[in-house]
Structure 1
């Protein structure tokens, strides 16, 4: 008993190790500017003079010109002095009583020291935010004594700041940054919880056990909260508050398209009740963006952006089902519009639950002896790798069809995977509900309906046993086919009402940045799309936020539509690399191979269709990445089982299993880290620097000890 008590106490203490390490890092590493300032020369206040690009009035400095916008420090010693930093003591901005970074100024120190005695040398730019005191201290690394020092401001005209004093060799205060501490603590505990030494990697997956149900429930709740919070990072309330003009007033951005569709449905028609300029209906080619912009400049009447236009009316070409499931009921119950970001959060949580359900079923079919730890790590990697963060970070209408289609597809496949019961009987309800879920994707994102073909490898044995496509299997066949006929008929009728064709979903009528009706769809773009979607490595830099978007798309001499891209699937979800193990373990994976082959074919077809119609967009990764990740998860589980220790100890097998497990977990965690960090990247649609500058600059200030 004492031994057990001692072991329990030791395990309890181990839980505190990450906490103590983060406390140590916050105290030492992250407060390095304070500790090193203890050895600085004495602090001195210096006066400044301004260049012609800065005016001063009542202690407020205003940039009036980009040339010579300089503060020149009047150093007290003409022979030079030792300078370790400069403090710009700016006044704190006040905005409704809440914390704000205020305006962020780009400051470039220019130094003449013993290493640059004839002319001043510029250093890298520093970002000084009014509301972040830690950024007011600009660390300088000089070559000997400084003879002159000036600070250039490369900001737009009109920017101003209140400056009470300028000091050199100032001592930054010791500051415990709670936001940084909590974020680092969460990241460290994420690694701690999922590290391969945890006991959950020894538990055989059995969700009937209370401990497994509890851990899974905690994981799902935490992950759901994170996804919901992600939808609020760019402060989307202002996005949906009103319309706004883009492209110099040529186009109307209205991000409440599903609310307009809900109004149309409740009014009993398919077109949207939005004003259409008379000139748009008479244009020879209304889908030509420059021509529309020219007519707007001429008439003063802008057109809606990313709305379908057909036969003189606006339509929504996005799938109607999300509107029917959320926006219409909400409007009926509250008489108010549902904000799109709330709907995105709802479907993101639904996708999370569907992913856990799907992975549980696919493991039960193809890797029954998988451990709970591998299952939980697979859930983490699968959810993040499917691009859900891309969908939630910019919570607009574009995310809803994809998230809803993913949710219904995963639920449908999970139901099919578990449709076979004991004694070889088929669950009619699972067959019908699974088919119904997949068929509903016709009302979300139609290409997902191709996953219905997965029924053939899933039910291959049952088809051979004549449980389908026979007199004995007539009921099973009808359960699997009838939902597609019903949903297909509804989708075709809706298409015909809108566009006069049963098979036209209307995407080509979109009023967007290129002519989708006449755009060329050369397959010569395919190699570049494959590279960008799958293999493009990360563009890592040494400057915050450290990940940069891909600059040059390709050498393709044509019109390749390309939204901001930061890396391919294997860069953001490196766990997908485990699919390369299939040839080596094809015997152990023979039951999975037919489904894996069809999933690969589906991914290729959907990638090709997306490339030809919409070009390259990180959002479209969610259309097909889940198939590759699902196969990778099963491959990992099967390979680990291959090296499972038997009755007799096998050191080589045990070592190989350890290597594989560590590799898998590290790749999962690396993918999660890169995916979340990429939310800070510049150039994204809805980039954090523009929409939530306070958060963006707050995170940037965490790295000041590196300056």
Structure 2
């Protein structure tokens, strides 16, 4: 509503009437979809007569029970399994039958019945003509008991109107109508300082932050009871710091580990039964926290000192997610102010939303384990820092310029203590401050900018000193962050380099098509095994960033259109960010493996390059490509981007996912896609 107020304030009465008529039409389409399409099964079973075929029995964990065959000699439209699961959430039901086209019985795949999801008790069946005989097999998972109250066929499916689904459809179609028609939204431009636009932008930002809270707490296994010992490194470091040591004093080193020739060959350690702390840094007989120190000093250690309790990892990730979202909005705003003269406000807002909810970043907040803490912290500080630098360049107020430079450098410096490879993003400072208008008009290293130059470097030095000291205290080298000392699944010291592994990994990181099918949760990990003749480390992957994430399609458009008119610092930024993204992707691919969270290391560089190109294409004053095509294509890409982010949230393929860790929520979300 606020967005419409911002836009209709400058619209003519004729266009307002057209908007009202269009919104009414969208409302009617939404009602049709919600009532008739998503409730198709209700209409399909409206005149059905329910027939119970079994009732009142229980199935113990790890067992299956088949009901007696029931003679129907008529149509069967669905099966209703009224099951309550004890000590768990799911039971599994398969249907077996003979029909007009099949003399011998055949079975269907199992469908899941879940506590908390009434719609999951129904399953449509599609026999060949009339069914002769039918029975079901109920299976209970290990450790559970499935109490079957009744099994019924041809039960009428109740209407299920879901307001949230209807609202989402209405919102998407309304925005599509506004963008695909010659509506006034194309003439309402982003205006820095416009109070109404600021209010709407802040509302959008806070809504994303609220959504992040839901995503952050969805995986209950990581929130309620993190079950891996090595996910407590930050908490253990807080205890050690209180004692004045950077050594993890609570972790005892087994004497046999001290005698091993190569303690980083963890396969040998497992084979010989030598205990070791998985994924901890091990150096000269001591255990250290492998991860960056900044999250510890900003969150875990102060929290422990103030409360005496350990800070959960998911709270730390959400705190950094707030920084990230604010930084993303600030960064996009700064880029639009600097490189666009006529950006429609609605498209600017969608740009902010798309960046904030890019799948790689949603993955971090929705899978809140210790590995993701320094990554999302580094991304958040990078975006906020570069955004503040842009504010310094865009403002004419001297005090604000100096404050923004100082805070920007502080945030960027903090990145080194989170995720060191992300420091490469800060190289944009060279282009922004020195090369933007040529060296002769540089913003730093001049007589007039002495104070600004000092303010730029002072926070970087102030942060670098303790970070370097921490490295030296652990590993005797101020530039050694400890990557090679991790007791992980492979020996990082002898991993080496080869082009086969590099190119194979880059393909999966960048160009692997997502594996999608027609059944919820729709997306699954690609098969990463291949025929690599060596140890290729991989977990799962939902698709390469240039193929699966539609937000990146602006990069493809730039390559296809060969937009030679993109010149100067803008072109320099795009080229630099693309190079940085490739460098980080190559580094992670060769140094670690094909692991989805590592896409979050190089995603920021590619996302920023894509943002710059979208700004160029959507700026009506440039005319590099047809604006009508650009705006429509952009909207489609944003919708596809958000869909992919949603699929990443619900996707299976990992041991840590909603399907395993929060079965009720997983199935309740699935109810939205049952027709």
Q: TM-score, normalised by structure 2?
A: 0.89
Q: Are 1:407 and 2:414 matched, yes or no?
A: no
Distance in 1 (CA, whole Å) between partners of 2:672 and 2:141 is 26
Q: Are 1:480 and 2:456 matched, yes or no?
A: yes
Over 3 Å counting, the alpha-carbon distance change for 1:313 and 1:640 in structure 2 is: same
Match of residue 241, structure 2, among 261, 265, 269: 265
Deviation string 1:170-211 (CA, Å, 9 cap, x unpaired) is 2233344x4xx3144235424534752564442222231121
Distance in 1 (CA, whole Å) between partners of 2:14 and 2:197 is 25
The aligned counterpart of 1:27 is: 35
Contact 1:382/1:626, CA 8 A, preserved across alignment: no
Contact 1:61/1:160, CA 8 A, preserved across alignment: yes
Match of residue 279, structure 1, among 240, 248, 256: 256
Name the SS of the counterpart of 1:382 in structure 2: helix
Contact 1:428/1:479, CA 8 A, preserved across alignment: yes
Q: Are 1:592 and 2:570 matched, yes or no?
A: yes
The aligned counterpart of 1:112 is: 98
Over 3 Å counting, the alpha-carbon distance change for 1:213 and 1:61 in structure 2 is: same
Match of residue 340, structure 2, among 367, 371, 380: 367
Query: Which 5+ residue runs of structure 1 have no aligned equivalent?
Result: 49-57, 96-101, 245-251, 646-652
Large movers: runs of 4+ above 6 Å: 3-7, 421-426
The aligned counterpart of 2:67 is: 71
Contact 2:90/2:141, CA 8 A, preserved across alignment: no
Mapping of 1:550-565 within 5 angstroms? 550-565=526-541
The aligned counterpart of 2:112 is: 127
Mapping of 1:51-200 within 5 angstroms? 59-62=57-60, 65=63, 69-75=65-71, 80-90=73-83, 92-93=84-85, 103-117=89-103, 119-153=104-138, 156=141, 159-176=144-161, 178=162, 181-193=163-175, 195-196=178-179, 199-200=184-185
Over 3 Å counting, the alpha-carbon distance change for 1:261 and 1:191 in structure 2 is: farther
Name the SS of the counterpart of 2:94 in structure 1: strand
The aligned counterpart of 2:427 is: 453
Contact 2:290/2:486, CA 8 A, preserved across alignment: yes
Match of residue 669, structure 2, among 695, 699, 702: 699
State the Cα distance separating 1:565 from its structure 2 match: 0.4
State the Cα distance separating 1:493 from its structure 2 match: 1.4
Distance in 1 (CA, whole Å) between partners of 2:278 and 2:341 is 49
Distance in 1 (CA, whole Å) between partners of 2:207 and 2:215 is 12
Distance in 2 (CA, whole Å) between partners of 1:465 and 1:103 is 65
Deviation string 1:564-605 (CA, Å, 9 cap, x unpaired) is 101111244312121234463222444411122211221111
Name the SS of the counterpart of 1:387 in structure 2: helix
State the Cα distance separating 1:313 from its structure 2 match: 1.9
State the Cα distance separating 1:524 from its structure 2 match: 2.6
Distance in 2 (CA, whole Å) between partners of 1:416 and 1:362 is 10
Contact 1:381/1:671, CA 8 A, preserved across alignment: yes
Which deviates more, 534-543 or 467-476?
467-476
State the Cα distance separating 1:14 from its structure 2 match: 5.5
Match of residue 585, structure 2, among 569, 589, 607: 607
Distance in 2 (CA, whole Å) between partners of 1:544 and 1:596 is 37
Name the SS of the counterpart of 2:324 in structure 1: helix
Q: Are 1:545 and 2:521 matched, yes or no?
A: yes
Which deviates more, 624-633 or 321-330?
624-633
Distance in 2 (CA, whole Å) between partners of 1:64 and 1:636 is 54
Contact 1:643/1:657, CA 8 A, preserved across alignment: no
Distance in 1 (CA, whole Å) between partners of 2:13 and 2:564 is 47
Over 3 Å counting, the alpha-carbon distance change for 1:580 and 1:32 in structure 2 is: closer
Name the SS of the counterpart of 2:354 in structure 1: helix
Match of residue 441, structure 1, among 415, 418, 429: 415
Name the SS of the counterpart of 1:363 in structure 2: helix
Which deviates more, 420-429 or 518-527?
420-429
Over 3 Å counting, the alpha-carbon distance change for 1:261 and 1:184 in structure 2 is: farther
Mapping of 1:279-358 within 5 angstroms? 279-296=256-273, 302-358=275-331
Name the SS of the counterpart of 1:543 in structure 2: coil
State the Cα distance separating 1:6 from its structure 2 match: 9.2
Name the SS of the counterpart of 1:443 in structure 2: coil
Distance in 1 (CA, whole Å) between partners of 2:19 and 2:305 is 54
Which deviates more, 157-166 or 630-639?
157-166
Distance in 2 (CA, whole Å) between partners of 1:157 and 1:264 is 40
Mapping of 1:495-514 within 5 angstroms? 495-514=471-490
Query: Which 5+ residue runs of structure 2 have no aligned equivalent?
Result: 1-10
Distance in 1 (CA, whole Å) between partners of 2:340 and 2:41 is 52
Distance in 1 (CA, whole Å) between partners of 2:574 and 2:164 is 41
Distance in 1 (CA, whole Å) between partners of 2:75 and 2:407 is 75
Over 3 Å counting, the alpha-carbon distance change for 1:122 and 1:599 in structure 2 is: same
Contact 1:361/1:418, CA 8 A, preserved across alignment: yes
Name the SS of the counterpart of 1:521 in structure 2: coil
The aligned counterpart of 1:637 is: 615
Distance in 1 (CA, whole Å) between partners of 2:202 and 2:449 is 38
The aligned counterpart of 2:4 is: none
State the Cα distance separating 1:345 from its structure 2 match: 0.8
Q: Answer with 1 or 2: which has the greater Rg.
A: 1
State the Cα distance separating 1:421 from its structure 2 match: 6.7
Deviation string 1:356-395 (CA, Å, 9 cap, x unpaired) is 1111112222223323222211111222226211101111
Name the SS of the counterpart of 1:272 in structure 2: coil
Contact 1:643/1:656, CA 8 A, preserved across alignment: no
Contact 1:572/1:675, CA 8 A, preserved across alignment: no
Over 3 Å counting, the alpha-carbon distance change for 1:45 and 1:580 in structure 2 is: closer
Distance in 2 (CA, whole Å) between partners of 1:202 and 1:10 is 15
Name the SS of the counterpart of 1:536 in structure 2: coil
The aligned counterpart of 1:99 is: none
State the Cα distance separating 1:278 from its structure 2 match: 2.7
Over 3 Å counting, the alpha-carbon distance change for 1:63 and 1:431 in structure 2 is: closer
Match of residue 515, structure 1, among 473, 486, 491: 491
Over 3 Å counting, the alpha-carbon distance change for 1:386 and 1:125 in structure 2 is: closer
Name the SS of the counterpart of 2:491 in structure 1: coil
Contact 2:359/2:642, CA 8 A, preserved across alignment: no
State the Cα distance separating 1:494 from its structure 2 match: 0.9
Deviation string 1:328-351 (CA, Å, 9 cap, x unpaired) is 222222222222111111110110
Contact 1:561/1:614, CA 8 A, preserved across alignment: yes
Contact 2:89/2:664, CA 8 A, preserved across alignment: no
Distance in 1 (CA, whole Å) between partners of 2:186 and 2:255 is 66
The aligned counterpart of 1:650 is: none
Mapping of 1:465-476 within 5 angstroms? 465=441, 468-469=444-445, 474-476=450-452
Match of residue 551, structure 2, among 575, 598, 622: 575
The aligned counterpart of 1:55 is: none
State the Cα distance separating 1:13 from its structure 2 match: 7.1
The aligned counterpart of 1:223 is: 208
Distance in 2 (CA, whole Å) between partners of 1:562 and 1:64 is 31
The aligned counterpart of 2:6 is: none
Q: TM-score, normalised by structure 1?
A: 0.85
